[in-house]
Amino acid sequence: MYFTKSFIPILKNNPTEAKIKSHQLMLRIGMIKQSSAGIYSWLPLGFKVMKKIEQIVREEQNRIGVQEILMPTIQSSDIWKESGRYEDYGEEMLRIKDRQNREMLYGPTNEELVTEIFRSSIKSYKSLPQLLYHIQWKFRDELRPRFGIMRCREFYMKDAYSFDLNDEEALFSYNKFFLSYLKTFKRLELSAIPMAADTGPIGGNLSHEFVILAETGESKIYTDKRIFEVNSDNTKLEKKSLSVLRNKFEEFYAVTDEKYNEKDFMEKVNDKYRLNTKGIEVGHIFYFGDKYSKPMNASVDFKGQKQFVKMGSYGIGVSRLVGAIIEAKYDDKNEIMKWPISVAPYECVIIPAITKNDDSNLVKANKVSNLLNDKNIDIIIDDTDENFSAKMKKFNLIGIPFQILIGKNTEGDLLEFREIGKESQKLKINQIIEIINSKKK
C-alpha cells in the first residue's frame, strides 16, 4: 500500500480538545474522526487495529468453546420490564420510539435478550452448559462523553453469557472466562490484572475487573504488587486446574475502588508490596446466578424438576482496547508509538528518501516491498516527497513496529532496518524477513 493512496489524514499538531494521550494520538494520525459527541467513525488505520483486536478476542472465545451469535442493536423494552431493569437503568439507556410508537432501546448490554434466546431454545439440562457470545455495537448515553473512544457513547464490545445447571458448574464456566481473559490480554501484550470488583447494574455477588495500569485510567486500584507475578501459562481448561489458578490470584489483595477497605489493605498487604494507583478497565466478568433466569423464567428440566439456570456474563471492550494499548505503549514525550505486532495496522513501513528529481529510492522500495509481501509481511510505503526526517517523525507516531529506511545509508544489498524506537542496523533482506516473522509468532 502506498501512503499517498491510503486514507490516513494526519494532523500537524496535537488536537487541543484531546486530554489524554490515546485520544490525542488517534486523532492526530487519523485513526478516528468524531461524528458527534461521543460517537466516532473509524478510519482505515484505526479500523485495521480494531479488527485485529476483535479477531484475537474471537479466537480466544472459540478456544474455550463459546459459540458466536449476533444479537441486534435495537431491543424491545418488554424483556427489560420482565427482568425489572427497565426503570433501574436510568438515563444512560438510549430509549427510542419507533413509528408505531413502540418502546424500543439501543442495547447497553444483552443479559435480557440472550436469556430470551436461551429460554425459547433449551429445555433439558442435558444441553448444558451453553456458552454464547457476540461482538456488537452498544450504546450508553453518557452525560459527559470524554477521552475519545475510551469513554464514548457508541462502543464495540464482546459480551458472552454462560448458562449452567448449578453453582459448581457455573463457577467452572466463570473460571474458563477468567483464564481466557488472561490469555487474550497477553496476546495484546497487555498486563491486565483481575481485581475483585463491584457488580453494579449487572448484579450478582462475584465479579472481577481486568485492569491495566495507566495514570489516565478512571479505575482506582489497591493491590499487592506480587499479583503481577502470578503465572497462568500451565493452567488447563479443567475444573481443578482453573480453581488452583483462581486461588493463586486470591492470595493477593487486589480490589477496585468500590471494594476497597483501608483496614484490610493495611493488614493484609505488607508495606513494601502496597500499590495504590489507577488503571483502565478492559474486561469485566460477573456471576449472578438466577438474577435474570428467575424473573424471566429461563429453566431446564432436571430429572422431572424445573430448575432455573445459573448465569454469568463476561465483557471485553474491543474498541476501548485500541485506546488502552496506546495508553500502555505510547511514549508521548518522545512521540513514539509502538503497536504490538499482533494488532499493528501494518507490520513494516518502507521509508524511501524521495526528491522531485530522483525517485530511484522509491524504485528500490517497491522491490523490497514485493519481496516482503511474498513472505506475507504487510507493508506500507511512504511514497510522499516530504523530507526524510519528517517522514520518520510521522511514522514514529503511526507506530508500525518495523521500519526500513532507504536513503544515502543504503549500500548494495544491505538495508537500514530498525525496530521502532531502537538503533538501526544494516541487514540483508532475508535477515529482515527472519526478524519480522520471528516476532509474529
Kindly identify the residues of this chain, within the stretch 44-63, that bind a second copy according to CB under 8 A. Answer: 44, 47-48, 50
Binding status of residue 88 toward a second copy by CB under 8 A? no
Residue 253 CB neighbours (<10 A): 23
Joined grid coordinates for residue 125: 439440562
Cα 59 to chain centroid distance, Å, stands at 13
Identified binder of a second copy from the candidate list 22, 25, 42, 368, rule CB under 8 A: 42
Binding status of residue 301 toward a second copy by CB under 8 A? no
Instruction: Please tell me the distance from the alpha carbon of residue 311 to that of residue 165, in angstroms, as a whole number.
Output: 9
Identified binder of a second copy from the candidate list 69, 165, 230, 429, rule CB under 8 A: 69
CA separation (Å) from 378 to 54, 314, 346, 350? 18, 33, 5, 11
Residue 299 CB neighbours (<10 A): 18
Residues making up the chain, counted from first to last: 441
Instruction: Please tell me the distance from the alpha carbon of residue 405 to that of residue 425, in angstroms, as a whole number.
Output: 10
Bridge partner residues of 355 (DSSP) = 358
Kindly identify the residues of this chain, within the stretch 122-161, that bind a second copy according to CB under 8 A. Answer: 122, 126-127, 130, 132, 137, 139, 141, 143, 153-154
Binding status of residue 13 toward a second copy by CB under 8 A? no
Closest separation in Å from C-beta 65 to a second copy: 8
Stretch near a second copy under the rule CB under 8 A, chosen from 90-98, 226-234, 291-299, 362-370 = 90-98
Stretch near a second copy under the rule CB under 8 A, chosen from 100-108, 256-264, 284-292, 359-367 = 100-108
Binding status of residue 366 toward a second copy by CB under 8 A? no
Instruction: Please tell me the distance from the alpha carbon of residue 79 to that of residue 6, in angstroms, as a whole number.
Output: 45
Binding status of residue 237 toward a second copy by CB under 8 A? no
Give the strand pairing for 310-317 and 402-406: unpaired
Closest separation in Å from C-beta 354 to a second copy: 15
The nearer residue to a second copy, 34 or 307, going by C-beta atoms, is: 34
Identified binder of a second copy from the candidate list 14, 15, 82, 104, rule CB under 8 A: 104
The nearer residue to a second copy, 131 or 269, going by C-beta atoms, is: 131
Closest separation in Å from C-beta 79 to a second copy: 8
- Radius of gyration of the chain, Cα coordinates, nearest whole angstrom: 24
Identified binder of a second copy from the candidate list 27, 53, 113, 397, rule CB under 8 A: 113
Instruction: Please tell me the distance from the alpha carbon of residue 217 to that of residue 326, in angstroms, as a whole number.
Output: 12
Instruction: Please tell me the distance from the alpha carbon of residue 65 to that of residue 130, in angstroms, as a whole number.
Output: 9
The nearer residue to a second copy, 17 or 92, going by C-beta atoms, is: 92
Instruction: Please tell me the distance from the alpha carbon of residue 415 to that of residue 421, in angstroms, as a whole number.
Output: 17
Binding status of residue 298 toward a second copy by CB under 8 A? no
The nearer residue to a second copy, 4 or 191, going by C-beta atoms, is: 4
3-state secondary structure of 395: helix
Kindly identify the residues of this chain, within the stretch 188-227, that bind a second copy according to CB under 8 A. Answer: none
| DSSP per residue, 119-177 | HHH--BGGG--EEEEEEEEEE---SS-BTGGGB-SEEEEEEEEEEESSHHHHHHHHHHH
Helices 44-63 and 167-187: angle between axes, nearest 10 degrees: 140
Binding status of residue 2 toward a second copy by CB under 8 A? no
- Provide the 8-state DSSP code for 18: -
The nearer residue to a second copy, 140 or 208, going by C-beta atoms, is: 140
Closest separation in Å from C-beta 42 to a second copy: 4
Binding region for a second copy (CB under 8 A)? 4-7, 9, 30, 33, 35-37, 39-44, 47-48, 50, 65, 67-76, 78, 91-92, 94, 96, 98-100, 102, 104, 106, 113, 116-117, 120-122, 126-127, 130, 132, 137, 139, 141, 143, 153-154
